[in-house]
Amino acid sequence: MRAPGRALTAAAALVVVAATAILPPSRAGGSRPHPGAGAFGTNVTVYDGSALGSGVENPTTALRPLHPAWISARLDGQLYGEPLVFAGRVYAATEDDTVYGLAADTGTILWSTRLGRPVPSGDLPCGDIAPGVGITGTPVIDALRHEIFVVADELAGRSRASHRLVGLNLYNGRVELNEALNPPGSIPTALLQRAGLALDRGKVIVAFGGNYGDCGTYHGTIAAVPEAGGAAGYYVLDHARGEREGAVWMGGAAPLVDSNGDIWFAVGNGSQSGPPYDASDSVTELSAGLRRLQLFAPSTWAQDNRTDADLGSAAPAFADGYVIQVGKSHIAYLLDRAHLGGIGGQVAKKPLCREDPHGGDGVEAGTVFVACAEGITAVRISTHEPHLSVLWTTPSTPSGVSINGPPILAGGLVWSLDTSGTLWGLDPASGRHLVSERTDGGESNHFPTPSVGDGLLLIPTTNRIFAYAGPAGRPPPPPPAVPS
């Protein structure tokens, strides 16, 4: 880690303005906002809309009926992260190591900054992202600094990879921070920065896991890097002699940060299949200083590690003083948030998800909406003699596709993408399909999450963003930039 890097590198200096395809104004009022439309000006600055990862995004925004607002130009790489929204602008980052700022009212690309060359998939020991790996995790925005942070996987030389934490000005894409972020002793090609980024008391929280297939030697890691640059702190999993793995990836969800600044996350399988316990396959709480405060692990942790049934394929969810965690063992664990209980310390457990869950959950009024691979599943917490009960699982679509993208809650519905790129709005009480919008943007992978900000519902597909407006119409043009 070097001292704060505020100068542009040659690779990071490219700022390009491009055109976009615009749909005609909607019949709901075109680009003029409806008088008194309170949804305009609302922001999404972190994965799932809040530091606690509730998935509730701007709930007062009216989203029915939906009308097409705009389609972005084709971006230069695949989208694995959630679009963010701030100050009348939409932000996205691609696997080609490019960050984009778009006008929320039209989708016009206001700026794009390419940070470097993505690492060719063939240079990695394994993985399923192709043809290259660049920016995979959802960025995070610091509204006070007017800065968006991303982690870019860059080709630093022949077959050499390097992860870099980059901060960019929200209004022009200028690089404000450029820090190498390769955990000490790590092999960069064996690490994938998949989880979304988070902010905690002036630091950017970054989680690392491995590539698909868990090949090579890596150690799951949480890094905390000062936003102004400087030495990072690290919490490293499975780091004893002979140990490896323990990925923190959560299907793309970001670590949760509570009001005390404590950091919560789920950990994947480790390499240990017998004593001593290695802190993998767990739900873990760290202090802001990265000291472990408590954890939970199933009593079956060793078996989970042997069979790749890791607990950390999805994120923890907070509800009514409890934590719910579901992983590849297809068991939901109900945990006391104040006392996670260590190994086997759950309050209750219940079989859940016939196929692997992934990503962040949606939480509302004691109900957790889980992205099981076979379909979104609603789980109710009963606090009297605590237990879990399944309310519903979404039926397959008429074409037989599962609605299984990580959900958000907005406008009174649960919203999820299927792998064909179709958006579904579900009744939270029954799971019934109430809204569907086919994007025709090509298939998306099963990780991207929609977002709701500035009156728009934004859908990331393979390499475009589709924007829909509610009855108030499109937002007004972006306001002028605020001086740094």
Bond preceding residue 24 cis, omega within 30 of 0: no
Whether 331 maps to a domain, the answer reads yes
Q: Are the beta carbons of 190 and 183 closer than 8 angstroms?
A: no
Q: Are the beta carbons of 195 and 255 closer than 8 angstroms?
A: yes
Decide the pairing of beta strands 98-103 and 109-114: antiparallel
Q: Are the beta carbons of 234 and 286 closer than 8 angstroms?
A: no
Whether 34 maps to a domain, the answer reads no
Backbone angles phi, psi at 301, to 5 degrees: -55, -40
Radius of gyration of the chain (CA): 21
Q: How many CB atoms lie within 10 A of CB 223?
A: 24
Whether 146 maps to a domain, the answer reads yes
Contacts of 80 (CB under 8 A, 6+ apart): 95, 129, 136, 137, 194, 252, 445, 447, 448
Q: Are the beta carbons of 428 and 378 closer than 8 angstroms?
A: yes
Whether 29 maps to a domain, the answer reads no
Going residue by residue through the chain (484 aa), what tens digit of pLDDT does each one get? 333 333 334 344 444 333 333 333 332 333 333 333 478 999 999 999 999 999 999 999 999 999 999 999 999 999 999 999 999 999 999 999 999 999 999 999 999 999 999 999 999 999 999 999 999 999 999 999 999 999 999 998 766 899 999 999 999 999 999 999 999 999 999 999 999 999 999 999 999 999 999 998 999 999 999 999 999 999 999 888 878 999 999 999 999 999 999 999 999 999 988 889 999 999 999 999 999 999 999 999 999 999 999 999 999 999 999 999 999 999 999 999 999 999 999 999 999 999 999 999 999 989 999 999 999 999 999 988 899 999 999 987 777 788 999 999 999 999 999 878 889 999 999 999 999 998 865 555 667 899 999 999 999 988 999 999 999 999 999 999 887 6
Give the H or E element holding residue 428.
none
**SS3 (DSSP) at 144:** coil
Place of tokens 């930039």: 481
**SS3 (DSSP) at 301:** helix
Decide the pairing of beta strands 198-200 and 84-86: unpaired
Contacts of 287 (CB under 8 A, 6+ apart): 261, 262, 263, 293
Describe the strand order of the beta sheet including 263-266 as a list of residue ranges.
Answer: 256-257, 263-266, 283-286, 292-297, 342-343
CA 148 – CA 164 distance, rounded (Å): 14
Whether 239 maps to a domain, the answer reads yes
Q: Are the beta carbons of 116 and 97 closer than 8 angstroms?
A: yes
CATH code of the domain covering residue 174: 2.130.10.10
**SS3 (DSSP) at 48:** helix
CA 155 – CA 161 distance, rounded (Å): 5
Bond preceding residue 65 cis, omega within 30 of 0: yes
Nearest to 377 by CA among 340, 412, 351, 346: 351
Q: Are the beta carbons of 172 and 481 closer than 8 angstroms?
A: yes
Q: Are the beta carbons of 264 and 285 closer than 8 angstroms?
A: yes
Nearest to 97 by CA among 19, 46, 151: 151
Q: How many domains does the chain contain in total?
A: 1
Give the H or E element holding residue 153.
strand 147-157
Decide the pairing of beta strands 342-343 and 292-297: parallel
Tokens of 354: 């016939």
**Strand partners for 379:** 368, 390
Burial class (CB in 10 A: 0-12, 13-18, 19+), 368: buried
Nearest to 250 by CA among 203, 307, 315, 298: 315
Q: What is the pTM of this model?
A: 0.92
- DSSP letters of 194-246? -SPPEEETTEEEEEEEE-TT--SS-B-EEEEEETT--PPEEEESS-STT--B-
Whether 7 maps to a domain, the answer reads no
Whether 181 maps to a domain, the answer reads yes
Instruction: Determine what percent of the chain falls in helix, strand and coil, rounding each to the nearest 5.
Output: 5, 40, 55
Whether 4 maps to a domain, the answer reads no
Tokens of 308: 């790749």
Q: Are the beta carbons of 26 and 34 closer than 8 angstroms?
A: no
Backbone angles phi, psi at 188, to 5 degrees: -55, -35
Please give the residue range of the domain that contains residue 448: 14-24+41-469
Place of tokens 């992202």: 129
CA 363 – CA 406 distance, rounded (Å): 12
